[in-house]
Amino acid sequence: MKKVTKIAGLIAFIPTLTLAQIYTTSDAPISIPDGGGTANPACQTITVAGGPTSITQVGVSVTLTHTWLGDLAIEVTSPAGTTLTIANRPGHPGSSFGDSSDLDPNYPLDFDDGFGLDAEAMGAACPNSGDTVGLDCDDPPDYFPNPDGAGTGGGVGTNFSDFAGEDCNGTWTLCVMDNVGGDSGTLHSWSLACNATIPVTLKSFSIE
């Protein structure tokens, strides 16, 4: 009885306060070209209509499969054409090849300026090469963006405040670039929050 009450409370609460300003791509999953770099990214778009006309806050959730996250750079571009690199080869150039941890679609990566983990340190707390972010470390995998301009691939921007005051309506593009050959993966999906927070609590929520 206690659990039923809790579930009903969540369902009533979230759609009105949070989900109204969260948008998810309808694009199909796409393979990330191994070693494709900035010249050959995997991209998906979201077209927002009826959203906020002046951005105060942006958050992004990305669902990926990959066997070496240190290969990857992730960029989001607003309808106005502003680009922010939210992660740029985590662990590189601190280590030559970047962090070796894996990404699993069961553990989407969430990005918000208010989150506690540094995107550049993604996976650094995982003890083994075959470990999965969100499962073996970084639980939950919630990061503040770090363009890491020092890394290869040309990190762009500062953080999500780069989009402040822009119109959320229009087409947003998220691109994932794999900068080193040998390990590959897939961009499954991504979601965008305008003037809302990505609902991290939903990921660990299950009805038992």
Q: Which residue ranges make up the site for Ca ion (CB under 5 A)?
A: 34, 67-68, 71, 88-89, 92, 100, 102, 129, 148, 151, 178, 180, 183
- Alpha-carbon distance of 190 to 183, in angstroms, equals 21
- Alpha-carbon distance of 63 to 93, in angstroms, equals 24
Shortest distance, CB of residue 147 to Ca ion, whole angstroms?
9
Residues 6+ apart with CB under 8 A from 192: 22, 23, 24, 46, 48, 58, 59, 60, 76, 172, 174
Query: Which residue in the shown chain puts its C-beta closest to Ca ion?
Result: 151
Q: CB nearer to Ca ion: give 31 or 171.
A: 31
Q: CB nearer to Ca ion: give 141 or 151.
A: 151
Q: CB nearer to Ca ion: give 114 or 181.
A: 181
Shortest distance, CB of residue 156 to Ca ion, whole angstroms?
13
Shortest distance, CB of residue 181 to Ca ion, whole angstroms?
6
Q: CB nearer to Ca ion: give 51 or 185.
A: 185
Q: What are the b/e assignments for 134-144, b being 16+ CB within 10 Å?
A: bebbbebbbbb
Q: Which of 192, 197, 202 is nearest to 49 (CA)?
A: 192
Kindly state the tokens that stand for 82: 């502003």
Shortest distance, CB of residue 174 to Ca ion, whole angstroms?
18
